[in-house]
Amino acid sequence: MDGIAISMNPGLPEAPTHSAVSALVRRAATGDRRAFEQIYRDHVGRIYGAILRLVGMDRARAEDLTQVAFVQAWQKLSSFRHESAFSTWLYRLGINTALMDLRSRRDHDALDPAQLESIDLGEVPFCAAERGDLERAVSALPPRARAVLVLHDIEGWKHEEISVELGMAVGSSKAQLHRARGLLRLALTAGT
Amino acid sequence: MTGPNMNDEIRWRSQLRQLNGPVQPARDLWPQIDPRLQTPRRRVRIASMAVAASLAIVCVASLLLLRARSHQSDRGSAPAAVVAIARNVQTAPGSHTALVWALPKNPTLAAAAHDLDDASTQLQHALQQHPDAVFLVGLLNRTNAQRMRLLREPFTG
């Protein structure tokens, strides 16, 4: 969120105020590269982090897509309406960039229906995992199922939003999530 | 879902939430981004030049075509389309918005010409709103090329 200027932790740098962000965006929209570089520095962590999770922790691909997202953001700055939070607009643009890439690789996203149908979530007990193990297990999921799981369980999106962005029915999004969770839990319990 | 299963579900989900949050890339990406940014003014200039160039090509091609046809017809007054285009070129040099094409005599083709003129006007307006949309220049070129083809109808029909 852009709008909070009060820092609860004096040890951390203050988040820029809404008006400061808005001024920065307006400057960048007129061609001020320094302003846009500041925007990049303020937001790259969030954008890169989300893209990185969507592309299965492939750092080189995430770096390429992050660059594409910021170039697109620069080109579309004039279309940004200042009624909404800029960080949300930019974040959605970054996610869309990763999902466009995912859609273009649809041929490589063949799910094995037999494998997915055989998963029974109720039989998989909780298994605590280290962050690294969890990231590896998420990365190993089929791309489309991974995208749904990352967007829903990690990024906090709703199925309605996911279905629109991924061009699938809400029911398909729910089914993909169910299957992704099952595969993930099986992978983690198998690894213990 | 029963008690233990529900607890498991909550623990699974809370574990995944740990993965949320910003991650800094291992290297600074700005040096690769910066050279790929075009300034807005430059984008406008490029788009405007592309439109002007394409329309200049259309005008010149029309004049050449019509001049060749008038040579073939020995004597006689210049066709209306030649006059219309020449007038536009003379009175509004470099102004693509002032370009007015002659209408074909055939009513069906005249209706199509009206549609193309409307499309051309809308494309020019859209291009003013979104000067960085290069595909609009392509559409405008195609529309004007089709409109130019309709010009030939009065001489062949």
Complex prediction ipTM: 0.80
Distance between CA atoms of residues B101 and A38, nearest Å: 50
| pLDDT band at residue A6 using 50, 70 and 90 as cut-offs | very low
Given B21, B25, B34, which is nearest A66 (Cβ)?
A: B25
Q: Would you call A40 and B25 a contact, using CB atoms and an 8 Å cutoff?
A: no
pLDDT at B136 over 70: yes
Q: How confident is the model over B21-57, as pLDDT tens digits?
A: 999 999 999 999 999 998 755 555 555 555 666 666 6
Model-wide pTM > 0.90:
no
Q: Which contacts of A130-135 are long-range, i.e. CB under 8 A and separated by 24 or more positions? A: A131/B18, A131/B19, A133/A188, A133/A191, A134/A188, A134/B15, A134/B16, A134/B18, A134/B19, A135/A53, A135/A57, A135/B19
A62-80 b/e (C-beta count within 10 Å ≥ 16 → b)? bbbbbbbbbbbbbbebbeb
A48 — pLDDT class (breaks 50, 70, 90): very high
Q: Give me the mean pLDDT over the B95-104 stretch.
A: 59
Q: Is any Cβ of chain A less than 8 angstroms from the Cβ of B8?
A: yes
Residue labelled with tokens 């010009």: B151
Q: Give the span between the Cα atoms of A24 and A32, in whole angstroms.
A: 9
Interface with A, mutate which of B8, B9, B10, B12 (most A CBs under 10 A)? B12
Distance of CA B88 to the CA centre of its chain: 21
- B19 interaction partners in chain A (CB closer than 8 Å): 53, 131, 134-135, 138, 154
pLDDT at B67: 62
C-alpha pair distances (Å), A27 with each of A31, A34, A53, A66: 7, 9, 31, 22
8 A C-beta contact, residue A47 and residue A96: no
**Structure tokens given for A187:** 């992978």
Cα separation, B85 vs B71, whole angstroms:
17
